[in-house]
Chain A
Amino acid sequence: MWRACQSERHLGQYYTLPTSHLHTIFPHGLPARYQQQVKTFNEGCVMVRQPALELISYLKAADYSKPAVRYLLYGLKGSGKTMSLCHTIHYCSTQGWLVLHIPDAHLWVKNCKELLPSSYHTSRFDQPIEASNWLRNFRTTNERFLSKIKLRQRYTWTKRESTEKGSPLGELVDMGVSRVKSSSDVVGAVLKELRLQAAETEESEGFRLAVAIDGVNSLWGRTTIKKEDKSPVAPEELTLIHNLRKMIDNNWCGGAVIATLSQTGSLYSPSSAYLPKELLGEEGFDSMDPFIPVPVSNYSEKEFESCYLYYLDRHWLQHPHSENEGKKEIIFLSNRNPSVLERLCAFL
C-alpha cells in the first residue's frame, strides 16, 4: 500500500504487507513469532520505525556507481532489528531490486547434519541441505530475475554436467536445487554472477543488488560443527560462509549490504553483548569496516502507544483492564521492548 512513499510523517503507524508479497518476498525471512502473529491476525502489519526509515533514506540517497555501502543494524535483544531488515527488504523488492536474503546466518554454522568435503576446493566443507533450502527460497523470491540474468561463464559440475555460458540463472538455480550434492558450489556461483552483473547500470539491463544478512556475526565467530576427527571447523572452511564473506567485501558496485547483528543465535558470546565490536570480534569488525551503524532501540512512547492500539484494535488484549490501568503495568514489565511486549500480550 504505502510502498515507496513512507516518510517521517508515518513514524509509528502500521502498514499492511500484501499477502502475495508475504509469500514471495518472505518465504523464510520473518521472525517465527511474527509469522505466528500474521497467521493469527490474518494479515501482516509492520510498524514504520526510525531505523528502517533511516536505512531507506540512505538507500535512496546512495550512489550506486561507487562500491557497495554496508549498513549494520545493531541493538538490544528483541528491539526489532530483524523486523527493520524485513521492512527494508520489502522496500527494496518493491523498488525492483534483486534481494539476496539470508534469514539467519547462524543456521549455517551450527547443527549441520551433513557435511561433505567440497569438490571444488579440497580443504573446504559443503552443507548441501542448507544450501539447497536457501536456493529454493531464493528462487521463490526472485522469480522475475531468473530468466533475465544470463551467466557469463561456463560452470562444470561433474564430468557430465555443466552449465553453459549465456544460459539463464534460473537453470543454474534449478540445477542446484535438484542436485543437492553440488548445491553449495551453485550458491557460490550464483553469488559471483550477481556480484559481477550488479555493477552494470540500469540501461543495460542491470539491476540493483541488496544483500541482506541476518546474524552477520556468525560469519566470523566459531562454529559448533565438527569434523569426523572431532576437531572444530573454522567458519572459513565452510563454502557457504566463504562465499558470503566475498559478498560482504565492498569490491563490487551497484548495490548495498544490509546486515543485522544477532546475539540470540550466536555461539560462544555472552548474552549481554549487543554492540558491533563485541559481537563481530576483531576479524569481523575489520572486514566490515567501514560500515554505517544503525542503532535499533526499544519502542519510544509514541511507538508503544501505536503498538498497543494495534493490539487493542485487533482485540488481542482481552483483559478488561487493558484500556487504562493495565497499560502502565505493561510498560513497566516490558520496558517497551517489542519482543517482550509481544510475549506479554500473548496471554492477556
Chain B
Amino acid sequence: MEWTSSLIVPQDSIKSNWLIPAPPKVLSRQLCVSSALHRKNLAAAGPEKFSEEFIKKQVEEYNIGKRHLANIMGEDPETFTQQDIDRSIAYLFPSGLFDKRARPLMKVRPEFLPGQLKSVQWGADGRPFHFLFYTGKQSYYSLMHDTVAKVLAAEKQQVLLLSEGPVPQDTKPISLVGSRWLLKEELEELLVETISDHDYARFIQLMERLLSLPNCLSEKDFVQRYRKQLEIQSSKQQVAPLQYDENGVAYSTADGRRKTATCTVLLRDCGSGSISINGRDYLHYFPVLQDREQLMFPFHFLDMLGRFDGQCTVGGGGRSSQAGALRLAISRAMLSFLSEGQVESMRQAGLLTPDPRVKERKKPGQEGARRKFTWKKR
C-alpha cells in the first residue's frame, strides 16, 4: 500500500474522536503528480509516522485477534504466548513458501512495541502536543528543563536555610556507589530520541551540578531513574567447597586454560611447597625463570608460599601458555581455601580472569593476520 506524503491520519477518526468543528482540510489534495515526483517526495518524508490512536488501535486489534485465535485452537486465552500464536498460524495456514518471511504472520509491528517509535506528536489541527516540540528533541529538552527547575529550587531552598542561620547540614548526599550514569545509548533508548554527544555531556554535567547541591536528597528518585546499578562482580564467582581425603588433608582441584594449553591442578594443604607437573619436578619442567614466576604469583599474592603441595597435569600449547594455564588453575583451586575478601582481591588482581587472547586468523590477501604482502609501487 502506498502511503502518500501527507499526514497519515485515517479519515474516520477526525469525525469520531475529536469534538472540534471540522477543521480545514489538511489532507493534501491529490495532485496530478508524475511518478517521479512521487518517489522524490516519498524519500523526503522520512520514516512513517503513526498517531498514538492508530498504534493503540492496532495493538487492541492484535490482542482481540489473539484471544479469538486461542478460542479457535481451544486453548486458554490468558496464557496464549507469541510462540503459541506462531504455532497456531503455521497449523491453520500451512505454507509451502521457502522464504520464512513470506509466510503468514500474526505479530505486533516491532515499531509499535512500547518505546520503539514516536507516534505523531501533533493533533488534528497540526498543533503539537508538547511545548518544546519545535526544538526537535522534545523529550531531551523537557528533561533538561525539569532538571534545571529542580536545581533552581534546591538553590532557592539553600539560600532560605542560610538566611535562617548557619544550621549544620545533616543531609547526606545521595550515595552514588554501586551505580553509574546511563550511557548515551541507554539514554537515547529511554527518551526514544537521538541525542548528540554534546547533548549527553551537557545532561551529565547538569546532573552532577544537581548532586553537588546539599539539599538534593528529595530528588533521589529522580536521579536514580538515570543511574544504573552495577552488579557486584565477585558474587558471580562460584567457589567449590573444600574436600578432605583419607588422612584429613584438605585438597581441591581446578582446571585452567590459556591459548590451547589445558591443565588440571590438585592442591593439597600440606606443609611442603613442592609442585610436580606431569610427574616431573617443576624446576625441571620449567627451566625458564619467567614460567616459574608465573606459577609463584598466586601463592605469593596470598602469602601462602610454602603451604601447598601441588600435583598438576598439563598438555598442549607452548611453555608460556602452559604456565599461564597453570596459574589460572592454581588460583581457582585456591579459592576454596580463602575468605570473601581475599577472593575479591584475587579477582581484582586479575588472577581469576581467563586470558581471552588467541591466535588471530590469517586473512586471504595478506601474509599473516596483520602483515600485508610487500607493497610494490609498480
Contacts and interface: CB of A to CB of B under 8 A. Distances in A.
Nearest to B305: A328
B289 A332 contact: no
Interface string A292-334: 0000000000000000000000000000000000001101111
B305 A331 contact: yes
Interface in A330-348: 331-335, 337, 340, 344
Interface residues of A toward B: which range?
A: 10 to 19
A271 B293 CA distance: 22
Contacts of B289: 333, 344
The B contact surface, by secondary structure, is helix
A89 to B, nearest CB: 28
Given A328-B305, A328-B306, A344-B289, A335 B296 contact: no
A40 to B, nearest CB: 21
Contacts of B305: 328-329, 331-332
B282 interface: yes
B300 interface: yes
A272 interface: yes
Interface residues of B, number: 15
A333 B292 CA distance: 6
Contacts of A344: 289
Contacts of B292: 332-333
Nearest to B281: A335
A332 B281 contact: no
A340 B289 CA distance: 9
B283 interface: yes
A100 interface: no
A332 B284 contact: no
A90 B306 CA distance: 37
Contacts of A333: 289, 292-293, 296
A76 B281 CA distance: 11
A332 B294 CA distance: 11
A329 B296 contact: yes
Contacts of A329: 296, 300, 305
A337 B300 CA distance: 20
Interface string B283-305: 11000010011001001100001
Contact of B306 (A76, A271, A331): A331
A263 to B, nearest CB: 11
Given A329-B296, A329-B300, A344-B289, A334 B306 contact: no
A229 B306 CA distance: 57
Contact of B283 (A271, A328, A340): A340
A7 B299 CA distance: 38
A328 B308 CA distance: 13
A333 B282 CA distance: 9
A271 B305 CA distance: 28
Contacts of B316: none
19 contacts: A76-B284, A272-B280, A272-B284, A328-B300, A329-B305, A331-B273, A331-B306, A332-B273, A332-B292, A332-B300, A332-B305, A333-B289, A333-B296, A334-B283, A335-B274, A335-B282, A337-B283, A340-B283, A344-B289
User: Across chains A and B, which 7 residue pairs bring their CB atoms closest together, nearest first?
Assistant: A328-B305, A335-B283, A332-B296, A333-B292, A332-B305, A337-B283, A332-B273
Given A329-B296, A344-B289, 8 more contacts: A328-B305, A329-B305, A331-B305, A332-B300, A332-B305, A333-B289, A335-B274, A335-B282
